[in-house]
Amino acid sequence: MCALFANNHARAQQQQQGTAGTQTNASPRPSPSPHETPERVFTRRVQVPVAVTDRHGEFVTGLTKNDFQIYEDRVLQNIESFSDERESLPIYVGVLMDTSASVVGKLRFEQEASMNFLQTVLRLRRDRALFATFDDEVTLRQDFTDKLDLLDRAIFGVKKHGTHTSLYDAVWQFCDEKMRSAPGRRVLVIITDGEDTYSRANMREAIDIAQRTNTTIFAVSTRAGLLSTTPGTEMGQVLDTADRNLQKLCEETGGQAFFSGDILSLERAFNKIRSELHTQYVLTYRPTNESYDGSYRRIEVRLANGRNDLKIRTKRGYNATQDSVLAPQQQ
């Protein structure tokens, strides 16, 4: 196992070589870890995953590059590249599972649901997944792989739980250390009760790093409990501040939050995420405003034909900082 984010109040720094059994540095704030020096290139293009649904909520396929328009701060951008379900980029998905005390009674079912999701979402010899847990610490259980037996071993190997919930730290760390260099579509799927109690990163920082690394976040909240009778939760309604924060985290990055009140709704949430990942469009553009002044750039995607019977969901924007990313590796 790899503890990516050590105890949030610890100051001991440990570092060893290798993928498994490694602890990276703990720091006062989330920051890039000191790996070996990679080739770095400044971000010059923005990748925009887009989900299109009809009035019944079904995903729409068969659209082309000419069906879309992208605006950044109300200025029309030139779409440089386009992919759909027929020529989609590989999916790099990280499943982050809450193992704090508040969700311990739901652990077994969360494990089973997570494994079932990965078995159906990963395309053989194309997509990759990693599995991690977060409580007082953020722990990498299995790095990116396409081998389901390794993922199964990692998921069902979780036996212990922590006390607190470091949700935003988990998002920050995996976007920065894993998603930044993934050569494909970047997705985090979070299973949690939604209430962060221990992170040094805040929600705004988690959203910012996800947007800058082109990572889409989906979340499945189990806060109500799989056998809960909390009014509204079974119908997927947002209940309180924790739910609203989880919803904002997802929507700002182009994803969606699901609030499951029973086993069936949890399974439906995973099926919805899987369907979306297999029907997404990915648009890439080079911003006409190339200055990196730290300002927030708002993104809007429209259908060029003016159809109002379809609904578009994508990330809402990004902060224009001179970030750097690992150069994609050839597969």
> Are 150 and 173 in the same domain?
yes
pLDDT at residue number 41: 44
* Residue predicted with more confidence, 14 or 115: 115
Query: What pTM did the predictor assign?
Result: 0.83
Please indicate, yes or no, if residue 285 is contained in any of the structural domains: yes
> Are 100 and 247 in the same domain?
yes
> Are 295 and 181 in the same domain?
no
* Residue predicted with more confidence, 228 or 46: 46
Provide φ and ψ at 148, rounded to 5°: -65, -30
pLDDT at residue number 294: 87
pLDDT at residue number 33: 44
Q: What's the average model confidence in pLDDT over 67-82?
A: 96
d(CA 330, CA 278): 22
* CATH classification at residue 181: 3.40.50.410
Residue 51 has pLDDT above 90, yes or no: yes
* Residue predicted with more confidence, 29 or 282: 282
Residue matched to tokens 């212990």: 160
Residue 36 has pLDDT above 90, yes or no: no
Residue 258 has pLDDT above 80, yes or no: yes
Please indicate, yes or no, if residue 30 is contained in any of the structural domains: no
- The one-character DSSP state at 101 is G
> Are 137 and 253 in the same domain?
yes
Place 322 in a pLDDT band, splitting at 50, 70 and 90: confident
pLDDT at residue number 233: 38
Q: What's the average model confidence in pLDDT over 224-231?
A: 46
Residue 187 has pLDDT above 50, yes or no: yes
Percentage above 90 pLDDT, the chain: 58
> Are 45 and 147 in the same domain?
no
Q: What's the average model confidence in pLDDT over 23-28?
A: 35
Residue 108 has pLDDT above 60, yes or no: yes
Q: Looking at the 3D structure of the chain, how many domains does it have?
A: 2
Please indicate, yes or no, if residue 12 is contained in any of the structural domains: no
pLDDT at residue number 261: 66
The amino acid that residue 206 corresponds to is: A
Q: Which of 116-120, 220-224, 276-280, 314-318 has the lowest mean pLDDT?
A: 220-224
Q: Are strands 281-285 and 2-5 parallel, antiparallel or unpaired?
A: unpaired
pLDDT at residue number 224: 63
> Are 319 and 234 in the same domain?
no
Please indicate, yes or no, if residue 24 is contained in any of the structural domains: no
Please indicate, yes or no, if residue 51 is contained in any of the structural domains: yes
Please indicate, yes or no, if residue 1 is contained in any of the structural domains: no
> Are 246 and 125 in the same domain?
yes
pLDDT at residue number 249: 96
> Are 55 and 70 in the same domain?
yes
H/E element, 3: strand 2-5
Q: Are strands 281-285 and 46-53 parallel, antiparallel or unpaired?
A: antiparallel
Q: 264: Cβ–Cβ under 8 A, 6 or more apart, which residues?
A: none
Please indicate, yes or no, if residue 3 is contained in any of the structural domains: no
pLDDT at residue number 208: 94
Place 237 in a pLDDT band, splitting at 50, 70 and 90: low
> Are 63 and 99 in the same domain?
no
* Residue predicted with more confidence, 310 or 327: 310
pLDDT at residue number 88: 78
- Secondary structure E strands in 99-149: 128-134, 138-145
| 203-212 helix and 167-177 helix, angle to the nearest 10 degrees | 20
pLDDT at residue number 31: 45
Q: Which of 147, 152, 141 is nearest to 174 (CA)?
A: 141
Residue 16 has pLDDT above 60, yes or no: no
Q: What is the mean pLDDT of the chain?
A: 82
> Are 298 and 259 in the same domain?
no
Distances (CA, A) of 199 to 48, 155, 205, 243: 28, 23, 11, 17
Q: Which of 1-5, 45-49, 73-77, 160-164 has the lowest mean pLDDT?
A: 1-5
pLDDT at residue number 12: 32
Please indicate, yes or no, if residue 10 is contained in any of the structural domains: no
Q: Which of 242-256, 285-299, 316-330 has the lowest mean pLDDT?
A: 316-330
pLDDT at residue number 34: 42
Q: What's the average model confidence in pLDDT over 245-271?
A: 88
> Are 163 and 244 in the same domain?
yes
pLDDT at residue number 25: 34
End-to-end CA distance of the chain: 26
| Containing structural domain, residue 146 | 89-277
> Are 94 and 232 in the same domain?
yes
